[in-house]
Amino acid sequence: MKTLKNISVTQSTHSELSEVTSNYLSIINSHLSANPFLIKLVEYIQPKLENLRTALAAVRTNSLVEEVMQLDQARDYAFIVFRDMINAFEKTDDTKEKEAYELLYELLKKVGTTLNNEGYMEQSGRLETMFQEMDKDQYQLAIQSLGLVSRYKKVKKTEQQFKTAYTNRLEEDTKKNYPTIGEARAALTPLINDLIPTLRNVIRVADTNDTLGWVDLINEQTDTVMTQIAARRTRKENEQITE
């Protein structure tokens, strides 16, 4: 008996979720149109998919999006430079510098030395945690000891600039008559999580003469998304190894 592969909806990007959902529904319409329940399910999922597509299109055309992306990149670079300059003192033979390095880098490890790879708000949250600690006297003295005061201020400045732009974008989004990506995705996610188990039941009750060719088509779409997810995970792991 053919089997359907699992898809990790939570790890897929918004665009990946939109595309794979569209492809799943097309396959069902083309190969399982005789199943009234599945067609009804497609009709129920379709508007949820359209909401996600609309939200994605709206965000892409929002004039603030490019600014947000540029500022996110700027804060990424500021953090990476700050992190790497701290790490440069790992082999120092100066006792004071070594103590400062150990204090600062231990905190960096707690908040995430690759926090620049996280999503917008996750990254902001981790940076805020870092700032709360590094603004304390002992950390400020350590930063001064390594001559990194200006670099630390740069990280804080770029994060503030990003948050301002991101907040402005959210305010603009609320003025428009379309769902936010988060809302649209939240409505679609449980439906796609349940879709594969539902289709597995279709396989179980299928006629023995049914070739179930649609199963291979569904699996091809799942493989495409899971390959992209695995590639992102590998890139992240490689970045951590090279630190």
Alpha carbon distance 236, 243 (integer Å): 11
Q: Which helix (H) or strand (E) holds 87?
A: helix 63-87
- 144 and 216 housed in the same domain: no
Does 206 reside within a domain?
A: yes
The pLDDT value recorded for residue 65 is 72
Does 72 reside within a domain?
A: yes
Q: Say which DSSP state 10 is in.
A: G
CA 124 to mean position of chain CA atoms: 13
- 15 and 42 housed in the same domain: yes
pTM of the complete model: 0.54
- 56 and 153 housed in the same domain: no
Q: Say which DSSP state 4 is in.
A: P
- 143 and 114 housed in the same domain: yes
Residue found under tokens 């990790």? 8
* Spatial contact of 123 and 111, defined as CB atoms under 8 Å apart: no
The pLDDT value recorded for residue 179 is 66
Query: What is the pLDDT tens value at each position of the chain, 243 positions in all?
Result: 789 999 999 888 888 999 999 999 999 999 999 999 999 999 999 999 999 998 888 776 565 677 888 899 999 999 999 999 999 999 999 999 999 999 999 999 999 999 998 888 889 999 999 999 999 999 999 999 999 999 999 999 999 999 998 887 776 665 555 567 888 999 999 999 999 999 999 999 988 777 799 999 999 999 999 999 888 888 877 776 665
- 197 and 152 housed in the same domain: no
Find the length of the chain: 243
- 72 and 85 housed in the same domain: yes
Query: Total domain count for the chain?
Result: 2
- 130 and 161 housed in the same domain: yes
- 87 and 52 housed in the same domain: no
Residue 20 tokens read as 């794979």
Does 124 reside within a domain?
A: yes
Which residue type does 81 have? V
The pLDDT value recorded for residue 174 is 56
- 31 and 113 housed in the same domain: no
Alpha carbon distance 145, 122 (integer Å): 30
- 80 and 56 housed in the same domain: no
Alpha carbon distance 135, 243 (integer Å): 25
The pLDDT value recorded for residue 243 is 56
- 199 and 119 housed in the same domain: no
Sign of CA dihedral 201, 204, 210, 215: positive
The pLDDT value recorded for residue 137 is 97
Alpha carbon distance 167, 165 (integer Å): 5
The pLDDT value recorded for residue 172 is 66
Does 183 reside within a domain?
A: no
Alpha carbon distance 133, 139 (integer Å): 7
Does 78 reside within a domain?
A: yes
* Spatial contact of 38 and 214, defined as CB atoms under 8 Å apart: no
Q: Say which DSSP state 149 is in.
A: H
Alpha carbon distance 2, 158 (integer Å): 52
- What phi, psi does 197 have (nearest 5°)? -60, -35
Domain boundary among 127, 144, 175: 175
Domain extent, residue 96, equals 64-175
Q: Say which DSSP state 178 is in.
A: S
The pLDDT value recorded for residue 144 is 98
Does 4 reside within a domain?
A: no
The pLDDT value recorded for residue 50 is 95
Does 188 reside within a domain?
A: no
- 49 and 17 housed in the same domain: yes
Does 51 reside within a domain?
A: yes
